[in-house]
Structure 1
Amino acid sequence: MSIHLKNASIGFGLSMELLSKIASTDITIRTKANYDYIDKILEGTVGFKSKNDLHQFQNNGMMYFFPDNNNILHVRFVGEYNEKDIRTFVNGINYEYNKIAYHSKNNNNQSLKSQEEKKIKLEKKRIQKMEEERLNIEKQLKQKKMKEYNEFQRKNNTLQSEIKFEEEKLQKINNRISSDFLEESKKLKEIQREKELLEKEFLKENESKSKELLEEEIKLKEKELELKEKYENNNFYDNIDDDLIVVEDNSNSIIISSNLTDKTIIDSVLSESYLGFSSRKELEEFQNIGSIKINRNSAGTYDFIFAGEYDESRAKKYVEDITDEYALEIQERTYLKVLEKIKEKDMSLESEIIDKENSIVLTINI
């Protein structure tokens, strides 16, 4: 049974006695679908092979559909549901929503293309009219420029005469400055000689002091090397690349390796998925038990380091959930890329099937 809840509370008016009889599973999962498309999505098999399989799954209990503040669809399962069927159902919702959004986008593009063609025709007429106006203005400008050019030539001739007069005047000034410059150069040379003599005297007076300063500098260098050697012998950090996270040695840490290689997809999963928890709050409570660091190892994959009072089995389950969501994210991105390629090659999509392993099988007409 399915119930849509646009503005209802989670209690739904069920008594605790009735709820306890039907609910061995009570979990809420956030999907990637928009709540407004739920009726359209449920018209399909939603990840199952047939409508009959879907109905059998729905009859295991109660399903409640409701949006969050961003209108993203959440599904609450209350009843005898198993984890595999829940995952199939949620993946089916995400898959159907992506397909609906993709086809809706294509239809909008066709409508926009028709509107753009009309706009182009109107724009061509407008441009033609503007071109006629431009030619008329250009003709007027040519006439105006001829008048301005003649006036410019007259003023230019006058200006050239004035410039010539000023150049002759400037040449006289330069000649006088050159003479003064020679005299100043002689004075500057004399001052330079006096400066050199004073520097020699200063060096002699400070020669003994310089030796003492040099000895002090050598002592400081030796002290610096000694401190540096002590620091290196007591360093608890590994020398790793700038893009790796430095992890302090901690005997209480749990380190779990993974085969994940793309940090951007890991970050996307951590920000969008509840990772098996019923809410973001529960997920954050688990994460805040201690600290969880993600470190790329020498093989190019990522290790998860749990520092704090973490249970090892729960930490492994956390990494497994991230790995599952990571695989689904890769599958979704690949699916969208394949659809784009089909469109580019002018081919048509005959059918789409999700098998028991949650793989998508596409049949294409070439």
Structure 2
Amino acid sequence: MKATIERATLLRSLSHVQSVVERRNTIPILSNVLIEATSAGGLRLMATDLDLQIVDTIEAAVDTAGATTVSAHTLFDIARKLPEGSQVEITAADGKMLVTAGRARFNLGTLPRDDFPVIAEGDLPTKFELPAETLKQIIDKTRFAISTEETRYYLNGIFIHVSDEATPLLKAAATDGHRLARVTVARPEGAEGMPDVIIPRKCVAELRKLLDEVDGSVEVSLSGTKIRFGLGSAILTSKLIDGTFPDYSRVIPTANDKLLRLDPKSFKDGVDRVATIASEKTRAVKMALERDKITLSVTSPENGTAAEEVPGEYTSAGFEIGFNARYLLEILGQIEGDTVEVHLADAAAPTLIRESDTAPALYVLMPMRV
């Protein structure tokens, strides 16, 4: 195999694929990236961790077609340190790969292409397109609520499903048992009848990185066990989480009759300030609600106390409620408008947070005892 490629093109492609590769691998081939030079001209780079696979196709001048595998992180580090604007020549033969650029030469060990595992996709019957911006919004507004508890593996991803309401919708939800984030968008054409799927956390992270380089739409194909995203020159394929996501709609409160309206920025800043003294263990912030007066306070046995009044509209009966400060800040960080609505019932019931009743995203937060 012999090919010449521009450093910037190679670096961008390697940055896409190498992040899928785990730093520590018991199986040596999984540390490698598969590089295929086609006779038609162009390079195909592929990396996998057996659950997630990314393929990126880039332009290159190919002298001799062929394929080999080489350490993904090593090649990425080399490309990163090569001079800007240089032409990189890659030659592979007899178990070695020679990388030359300008006066720099690297001789790397390779492993045979035939040992490289490929995720068999099978048939992916459901196919639809989503604008890249919509997909970004779905990920950004839900992924902070994905659970990291391995024992509840079915919560380790974003749950995506369709619902046949008066307006057909595509819904995405994530929860860790303490908070829930849900986003709804119009159901894209072709998504009707799709199976309910849970997209794993690692796939979500890689997809979000790739979306920054996509302008138009993303092609989504899926079955009950796998999902594939077509992102321009890159194709991301992932196994889905094999589990049943809980019926989250049961925890979305519908009868919370106490409405608090706030400016999300001043509320977030206030929570952030008083939480400075909260101990790592509790992270609890107390909200005392009175008519048009909201007092935030934190009491920490080690550090002392803090309190701040924040402006807000509230006309119901006064009471006190506590929340995990970090969870509250993460939700408020997703609010883009000038107002946030907090729908409350009592100090022990789930609280609903959203921009308005027409906003695509809503959040549910369980209170804490304070």
Which structure has more strand as a fraction of its residues?
2
Bin for the TM-score computed over the shorter chain: under 0.3
- State TM-score, norm by structure 2: 0.16
Structure whose alpha-carbon radius of gyration is higher: 1
- State TM-score, norm by structure 1: 0.16
Which structure has more helix as a fraction of its residues?
1
